[in-house]
Amino acid sequence: MIKGRPVFNCSYFPRRESGAALLIFMILLTVSVATFLLTGMSRTSHKLASPFQNTRVLAEAKNALIAYARLSDADLNAETGLNYRYLPCPDEDGDGLEETPCGSSSADGWLPWMTLGLPPLRDASSTCLRYFVASSYKQGGSTEPLIGDLPTAEFTLNSAEGIIATDVVALVLAPGSVVLDQRRGVSPGIATECGSTSSVSEANLAANYLETTAGINNASSPEFISSPLLIDSAGGFNDIVTAVLTSEL
């Protein structure tokens, strides 16, 4: 030892650096484990929330359609009252507005959320809702939906076990995510809130959202099918369907 100068223990620094490295490692390990657990919880929460999201938005759409039908008289005066139960035409380009007129036969497209006074309703996959309406329950049909003598319902809703209802006048469907060879490109048009400005784009075609199972194709009327037992994206079917019945109008 030289007088007046401290003597340093060289072995002190490696031990201190080793302790700091161990602390950093433990922090990184804790963060990694926490991230893994939180990610797993988020995915699980999303899977658990998905059915509730679909149920909620379908119920909201159905209630809006029934309210629309009950206030649909063109002439709301004291003499006529609310005598008719018209439903809106579908939205064909995904901007939220019904496209009128929509012919004399049944029609399908996007749910006309803006016409119904709703925000753009989306299912658990963030896809907008699809909509079918029977010929006699929209403006331009051959038979007026007079409340005292409602026309015969046009659609039938089925499950894997059999028929659920035969008096269906409209359906709202949560399409879910893409399955099999479905394509949802917006060209040659421009993207709208739900679809495309071009009526022929993949983004507006029912077949790119709705599937076939048990011999029933949800992309075309008059037969439709929905059942929790059939929801299998890997197997090519993930439609959730709710129906509006004549008795509910």
User: Domain boundaries in the chain?
Assistant: 50-248
Q: What is the mean pLDDT of the chain?
A: 83
Core vs surface per residue 96-112: b (16+ CB within 10 A) or e: bbbbeebeeebbbbbbb
Question: Of 3-7, 11-15, 41-45, 238-242, where does the model show the most confidence?
Answer: 238-242
Residue, of 183 and 29, whose pLDDT is higher = 183
Between 141 and 21, the higher pLDDT residue: 141
Q: How far is CA 206 from CA 4, 10, 132, 169, 248, in A?
A: 90, 76, 10, 18, 26
Residue 65 has pLDDT above 60, yes or no: yes
- Taking a C-beta distance cutoff of 8 angstroms, is the pair 106, 154 a contact? yes
